[in-house]
């Protein structure tokens, strides 16, 4: 496993200090009041955390994927709702524009996203198209120099607070995934509005919304990539996004473990600190091993990305293992806190609620297994 370089360690320690001082401070309150962390994200933009892997010339920090996942884990340690906004913006939004945008699109849309001036969102999922995005029904009909978009997107992270949204739509129904295209649409465009805002179990400070397009006219120069390339753009963006979910999982799990170690040392029962009971110490050991394994998978996938290798399967493995791991670890953290873990006096109930969606969004655990097994059988055929 790669040893972190001086620069990667420096970024990690800078973000850790910031996250524990600034991001953690209001996390419980934002969760309770469902308040978007706008001010915190602004400061994160100033620190270069909103477009970390985007080159400096496009307003980013030019960091590698290992630095990015280390930073994202630190933010998630402090506040998972803030981390998901950072994750979507850095991966599927900024990277899609970086890899598929024209020079003009990069200047106009990527620069303000990468430097954190505006928030971005990606609209792929629909009410009846989640795991199977090819079945989406949003359409984009060509009309002269524009496309007319019609349809509804669902469960869109940052839908309400995003200024710039990348949205996929069918430009040719008959061509299945090759008939899906992507468009960059900005708030304020006539025919584009935010719909229902979800009331969620966790990540309550991050907004998840419907996006509604009704005869929304989008200039053809705002199509991202070629006509029919939208599905590829989404899949490629999700590869990066999935390493990000692994990073969020590692961060939340580490926070749950640290809180548990602290609690068990303080809590006394049967005349001694409960941290002295071997049964409970072994639970703590299992939690630590689980987190370490997930961290290695996350770093391995990020290292492959940095080396320019295909990392689709490794991203799915990291996402699958880490998201399942954080659900185990946060449940154990509550168990070790006993009745107090079930109350809002301790942070572990929030970690437990926040982590629940990690096995669902950016591809369910079942979809990750599809991706992994498809790659295994494809590789086998080549042998």
- Whether 129 and 178 have beta carbons less than 8 Å apart is answered as no
Tokens representing residue 20 in the block: 């524990």
- Whether 169 and 129 have beta carbons less than 8 Å apart is answered as no
Write out the H or E segment, with its range, that includes residue 184.
strand 180-186
Q: Which of 126, 253, 361, 372 binds ligand CAA (CB under 6 A)?
A: 361
* Per-residue H/E/C for 225-256: CCCCCHHHHHHHHHHHHHHHHHHHHHHHHHHH
CA distance 7 to 19: 18
Kindly state whether residue 236 participates in binding ligand CAA, applying the rule CB under 6 A: yes
Residue 74: active-site member = no
CA distance 322 to 131: 19
- Whether 231 and 168 have beta carbons less than 8 Å apart is answered as yes
Q: Mapping DSSP to helix (H, G, I), strand (E, B) and coil, where does residue 182 land?
A: strand
Stretch in the footprint of ligand CAA (CB under 6 A) among 50-58, 246-254, 343-351, 361-369: 361-369
Tell me how far, at minimum, the Cβ of 82 lies from ligand CAA, in Å.
14
Q: Which of 126, 324, 349, 362 is catalytic?
A: 362
Kindly state whether residue 354 participates in binding ligand CAA, applying the rule CB under 6 A: no
Stretch in the footprint of ligand CAA (CB under 6 A) among 42-50, 61-69, 131-139, 348-356: 131-139
Q: Which of 231, 311, 346, 358 binds ligand CAA (CB under 6 A)?
A: 231
Torsion of CA 300, 363, 211, 214, to 10 degrees: 120
Kindly state whether residue 311 participates in binding ligand CAA, applying the rule CB under 6 A: no
Kindly state whether residue 362 participates in binding ligand CAA, applying the rule CB under 6 A: yes
Stretch in the footprint of ligand CAA (CB under 6 A) among 3-11, 97-105, 278-286, 363-371: 363-371
Kindly state whether residue 261 participates in binding ligand CAA, applying the rule CB under 6 A: no
Q: Which of 67, 136, 222, 312 binds ligand CAA (CB under 6 A)?
A: 312
Residues tagged active-site: 362
Which residues lie near ligand CAA (CB under 6 A)?
88, 122, 124-125, 131-134, 155-157, 177, 231-232, 235-236, 238-239, 312, 361-363, 367, 370-371
């Amino acid at each position: 496993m790669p040893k972190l370089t001086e620069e990667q360690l420096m970024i990690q320690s800078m973000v850790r200090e910031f996250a524990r001082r600034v991001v953690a401070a209001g996390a419980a309150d934002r969760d309770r009041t469902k308040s978007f962390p706008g001010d915190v994200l602004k400061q994160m933009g100033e620190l270069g955390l909103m477009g970390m892997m985007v080159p400096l010339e496009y307003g980013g920090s030019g960091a590698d994927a290992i630095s990015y996942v280390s930073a994202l884990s630190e933010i998630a340690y402090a506040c998972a709702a803030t981390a998901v906004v950072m994750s979507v913006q850095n991966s599927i939004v900024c990277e899609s524009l970086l890899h598929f945008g024209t020079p003009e699109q990069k200047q106009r849309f990527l620069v303000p996203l990468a430097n954190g001036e505006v928030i971005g969102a990606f609209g792929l999922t629909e009410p009846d198209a989640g795991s199977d995005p090819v079945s989406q029904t949003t359409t984009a009909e060509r009309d002269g120099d524009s496309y007319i978009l019609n349809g509804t997107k669902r469960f869109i992270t940052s839908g309400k607070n995003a200024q710039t949204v990348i949205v996929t739509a069918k430009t040719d129904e008959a061509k299945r995934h090759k008939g899906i295209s992507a468009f960059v649409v900005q708030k304020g465009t006539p025919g584009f509005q935010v719909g229902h805002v979800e009331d969620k179990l966790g990540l309550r400070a991050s907004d998840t919304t419907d996006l509604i397009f009704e005869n929304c006219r989008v200039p053809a120069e705002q199509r991202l990539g070629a006509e029919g390339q939208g599905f590829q753009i989404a899949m490629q963006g999700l590869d990066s996004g999935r390493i990000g979910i692994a990073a969020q999982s590692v961060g939340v799990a580490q926070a749950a473990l640290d809180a548990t170690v602290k609690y068990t040392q303080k809590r006394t029962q049967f005349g001694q600190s409960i941290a002295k009971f071997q049964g409970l110490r072994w639970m703590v050991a299992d939690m630590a091993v689980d987190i370490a394994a997930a961290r290695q998978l996350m770093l391995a996938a990020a290292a492959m990305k940095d080396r320019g290798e295909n990392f689709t399967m490794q991203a799915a493995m990291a996402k699958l293992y880490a998201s399942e791991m954080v659900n185990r670890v946060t449940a154990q953290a509550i168990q070790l806190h006993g009745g107090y873990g079930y109350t809002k006096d301790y942070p572990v109930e929030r970690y437990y609620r926040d982590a629940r969606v990690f096995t669902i969004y950016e591809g369910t655990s079942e979809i990750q297994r599809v991706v992994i097994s498809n790659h295994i059988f494809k590789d086998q055929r080549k042998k």
